Amino acid sequence: MAPRSKSVASAAWTCAVCAALVGCGSGDGLTRHQVSGEVRYKGQPVKIGTITFEPTPEVGKEAPTGYAVIRDGRFTTEPGQGAGAGAYIARIYAGDGQAIAPRAVAAGDPEGPPPTAKLVFGRALLEDYGHPVELPAKNSELVIELPK
């Protein structure tokens, strides 16, 4: 694939993912509640990351999944992006916030992003982490300390 077509394809993929995230939730008829809070690692706020609230089987077959971005240790689900009530897994990806060049991650990968692009999450603080939470049937606030 030519460099220009790779960047166009990458931009199209990014737009599709963003559109899906924005489109998910609103108007689906499921009861959602705003979830906000703090995420810490070794006692310090996580610089940047994501948190996804995945329903467990106990919640039922049709339950909303919530999503938020973690910035400087804080997160808040946007309107229409919250989770329902019940047992959820808070799935967290946390980065150190130190931007790195993608080629430093996948050196010599001809299909990777251009060397001028930066991965803003930086290096992962831990691999895929799932934290069980019980969400109430109202807006709620959580504090999550990631394991060392």
Q: Which domain holds residue 73?
A: 3-146
C-alpha 15, offset from chain centre: 16
Those residues with Cβ within 8 angstroms of residue 147's Cβ, 6 or more apart along the chain or in another chain: 126, 129
Q: Rounded to whole angstroms, how far apart are CA atoms 124 and 32?
A: 29
Q: Which CATH number do you get for residue 25?
A: 2.60.40.1120
pLDDT tens-place string over residues 42-82: 999 999 999 999 999 999 888 999 999 999 999 999 998 99
Contact 53, 90 (CB under 8 A): yes
Question: Splitting the chain (148 residues) into consecutive groups of 10 residues, what average pLDDT does each group show?
Answer: 41 40 60 96 94 94 93 95 95 87 56 57 85 96 94
Q: Whole-angstrom distance between the N-terminal and C-terminal Cα of the chain? A: 41
| Number of domains into which the chain is organized | 1
